[in-house]
Amino acid sequence: MTVLPHDYTDCDLKHSMGGPGGAASMHGPRHVNMLAQAILVLVAIVLSFALFLPQSSSTLWSRSFSASHISDILARFSPDFPAEELNLIAPVSDVFTSNGRTDQVQWDNYSLVLQGQRVLIYSGEFHTFRLPVPSLWLDILQKVKAAGFNAVSVYVHWGLSNPAPGVVDFNDWRSLQPLFDAALAAGVWVVLRPGPYINAETTGGGIAHWVSSQVAGTLRTNATDYQAAWQDYIQGIISQTAPNQITAGGPVIAVQVDNEYFQSGFGNAQYFAQLEAAYHNSAIVVPLTYNDPGEGKNFVNGTGAVDIYGLDSYPQGFDCSHPETWSPVVTNYHDYHEGTNPSQPWYFPEFQGGSFDPWGPSAPGYANCRELTGPNFQSVFYRQLWASNAKLMSFYMFYGGTSWGGLPFPGVYTSYDYGATIQESRELTTKFTEVKFQGIFLRSSPDFVKTDWIGNSTSGAVRVTNPAAFVTLLKNPDTGAGFWIVRQTDSTSTALTTFNITLTTSAGSITLPQTTPNITISGRQSKVFVTDYHYGSAGFILFSTAPIFFAGRIGNRDVLYFTADRGEPNELGFSHSTRVDFGFPEGVIAGGPFSVSDDSDSLMLVSTSATASTFFTPVLAGTGPHANYWQIGTNTTVLVGGPHLVRNATLGADGTLALFGDLNSTTTIQVIGPPQMTAVTFNGLAVTKDTGATNSLSRFPGTFVGHLNLTLPPLPQPSLVWKFQDSLPEVQSGFDDSSWVVANHTTTNIPFKPFYGDGRILYGCDYGFCENIVLWRGHFTATGQEISANLSINGGEAFAASVWLNSQFLGTSFGNSSNNRHVLEETDDKFTFPSGSLVPGADNVITIIQDNMGLNESGSTPNTIKSPRGVRGFKLNTGTFGTWKVQGKIGGYQNFPDRTRGVLNEGGLFGERSGWHLPGFDTSSWTTRDISTGLPNSQAGVGFFVTTFDLNIPDNLDVMLSFTFDQTSQPYRALLFVNGWMMGKRVANLGPQFKFPVHKGILVYNGLNTVAVALWVLEDVAVTPSLSLTIDTILVGGSGPVTYNNPGFSPQGRQT
């Protein structure tokens, strides 16, 4: 580390806060008098507006009194009035817009304003329905907060909450209250996105399945029957949300209307207007927002316009096959905003945080997606949003979770890991480190919340010596703080670029670097230089090319923590003479952090970014309902380095700082806190202070260094002993289907009509069976001339359907996908009858077992959601079918018995209908058979394998577990049930998923567990599946106790 000489004193630093260049002390009485007179003139103008234009909109006020207009007024009154003194009257320009329903959420062209304070929203997407253990939602939100983020964006799934007409169910994991409670506890705002349509790679895009068959009108329009269909659900959303708005002390600050839609379609705008009217005629008072799928300017103005418009953007697309290949950054974001909604803050409701992964043997997998959208992507593309002057940003996904049961739409498999910042297992990734650097910097930089876009190095607003470097300048109009966002002009480049830059500061211009020949920026890297940067109580940086990790007030000291890595020269200046006070031409050594300035009222730390990545900035709660919210309820924080995760902190009256978090190794813990902090505990255990190390970090009170030791107990893996029972009695002679539903409809609201047949409609949803496996039985009296049947079967991408004549297996139709190419969502096959399989003169039965992979999402034609899952064509080579019967999950969507796990958990297999997958079902009479032996006689069919085992995992451990199948390609499909929850669908002939994470709360960590596998063999061959319980991660810590809700077997409502 090289530290250049400097001679500034505490007095110098304090003097610098008097204003740029000490301006406040440099102007005489004439300027003071002129300023007073100018303010009087301005007040008179404001009063005139108030008296004569009482109905003028907030937008008019904000435009009339922008900083530039005030500057013009003052300049006309006094031509020699110093522009830099404008910061003395900055609050006059802060006149905000609202929706007229609350003043607790307002906005202007710069930012959102919550309870009178400007707030930059840095958010991540999280779907509670993809983690059906409410006790774990706090875990995710604490990790969001630990990354420096202050909000989450949350889809709500209509189909799960409104499973049948007139049934609205916000109980158990469908309830929103645990989410709102966890958000308050973590200090995280919520933007609620309840659709009705949400997309989200979920079945029907979230539209309730029953709607697809019961609504005749076009979905997502103002069709009367569609409007009637969503009313109960939206009223349920209102009931759940209204008491949890910010106005009631809750976390909800906005509600999104539907999702990624177009204003121009027939009935589309009116549909939005209907939804908005439902909210406006309720207790919902927070703003209504919208997310445009492209730069289409939808719902900015006109019918259906929302309060705050936003743009979704996924610049890398959704093919992770070549994660090293980038598309370049989008460069017109700022211009688009200025041409679309310049009076509103720039909002990205969804920006790419990963990618979904499709079915197929060539699917790249989520590891590739995490690389494609990894730390380098986040560094360049997220800061490009900053450079466009965006002040509300949410990244889709922050935690993806699991599309368990029938949640997925046909294009994706069970895992919804998404390559997100947090893995499906809930473990942190390298992406977390990068967004934490960003989130903590933004939280540390209140000047950044309000900035003007000045220009960039292409426009001439910024001077750089190398055109390969691209720099955008944002500047706070009140304080003069400048933010210089640097990347390579070719954002896809992997080469190292060097350049010099001229920064404009309150003390004049300065060309950097001064201590080395060049500034360097690596390929696929972005940085932020700052000028006239204020922090804490009196902290001031004139300029810095060093990345700032943290800046703020801790106790009675202004604390600055910046990084200096090898190969990246950095310089900082703190005085007003444009000199370099600290230079790091070669970076710093590993370890630290090192104090470069350690005084009673200030502390400056530097380290490598690797060391800084171990630090967290938990807040200390204030008072009131928003006690845990930075800016609103508290401005008190501490710096904690070392642990794998720091979840929260509390400072006791006795001076003990109680920290809670996770450990994955023995580590040193370093704390910068208030001076009254005298001791530290971690997860309730006292930490012994290392006095020497403490004094090396800082010699002033409020510093603590100690050591955390990690000792893990042995965790034996259970051996799985399986019981077996056949689960396809429907193909046996004499099977009684008299209780099944007769499929005799001749009309349907599904617009995709049968290809051939006799006019009967064989679509499962028309009979109440919309999800998962459905069985069909077609009866006919044989003459002996029948030799084949043609069947057109629709199950969605990657489906399968196996067919029997009586007890004779005829074959399987395979839907297909290969990385979203060669997609086959329906088949049309001829099934030839083997000799001897037909019984002339008697009742013969064609049995079809068909997997429904979910309903399609909405394309440009909304009714694509009305997917024709079932049999679209049926005919014998001669003769006709008699009765058709259909059976899906027991009770259909109206009367399914498992109300806890919900409408999408089960399908129509005999074992599912009988409850074999549920804890407590008696399998003592079943055959012992290992799952690796497959089905008896190497035949196609379906069998249930059930095992039970105990776990005994200590409560202080957060152990992340998965069930792992064999990775071989074999002709079988398997449904994985864990304590009754369908947590995985393995398609071994197609892939790619073979590993299925299952969380505590589904798995019982201290007790008995039941695991069932429904094995569907697709051909008359031997299959050899394997399944084991594997440990992915062991952490000491976790977010607290987990409540189990795994109802056991009951014969009520079940097939006997």
Among all residues, which ones are annotated catalytic?
260, 350
H helices of 373-429, in order, are 375-377, 383-387
Q: How far is the CA of 646 from the CAs of 179, 608, 617, 627, 683, in angstroms?
A: 20, 20, 8, 18, 10
Give the separation between CA 59 and CA 613, rounded to whole angstroms.
42
Residues facing 670 on adjacent strands: 641, 705
Name the residue among 294, 324, 477 with its Cα closest to residue 860: 294
What type of residue is 202?
T
Give the separation between CA 124 and CA 144, rounded to whole angstroms.
7
The dihedral built from the CA positions of residue 442, 445, 450 and 454, taken in this order, carries a sign that is: negative
Q: Name the helix (H) or strand (E) containing 607.
A: strand 602-607
The dihedral built from the CA positions of residue 453, 458, 464 and 468, taken in this order, carries a sign that is: positive
The conformational region for residue 704 under phi > 0 = left, psi -120 to 50 = alpha, else beta, is: beta
Give the separation between CA 204 and CA 855, rounded to whole angstroms.
5
Give the separation between CA 1017 and CA 941, rounded to whole angstroms.
5
Name the residue among 501, 504, 495, 502 with its Cα closest to residue 475: 504
**Residue found by looking up tokens 């005994």 in the block:** 952
Sheet holding 463-464, edge to edge: 463-464, 501-505, 508-512
Report the C-alpha dihedral over residues 741, 744, 748, 753, rounded to 10 degrees. 120
**Token pair belonging to 763:** 């679509």
Give the separation between CA 545 and CA 501, rounded to whole angstroms.
10
DSSP letter assigned to residue 592: -
> Are the beta carbons of 859 and 411 closer than 8 angstroms?
no
Count the helices and strands in the chain (H runs, E runs).
Answer: 19, 56
Give the separation between CA 242 and CA 207, rounded to whole angstroms.
22
Contacts of residue 471, defined as CB under 8 A and 6 or more positions apart, other chains included, come to 456, 457, 462, 464, 484, 485, 486, 501, 529
DSSP letter assigned to residue 577: S
Q: Name the helix (H) or strand (E) containing 793.
A: strand 788-794
Give the separation between CA 668 and CA 622, rounded to whole angstroms.
28
Give the separation between CA 456 and CA 461, rounded to whole angstroms.
5
Give the separation between CA 207 and CA 230, rounded to whole angstroms.
9
Q: Name the helix (H) or strand (E) containing 529.
A: strand 527-535
> Rounded to the nearest 5°, which phi and psi values hold at 494?
-110, 5
Q: Name the helix (H) or strand (E) containing 229.
A: helix 224-241
Burial code of 625-655, b = ≥16 C-beta within 10 A, e = fewer? ebbbbbbbbbebbbbbbbbbbbbbbebeeee
What is the DSSP pairing of strand 762-763 with strand 870-876? antiparallel
**Token pair belonging to 170:** 């916000």
> Are the beta carbons of 120 and 111 closer than 8 angstroms?
yes
The conformational region for residue 869 under phi > 0 = left, psi -120 to 50 = alpha, else beta, is: beta
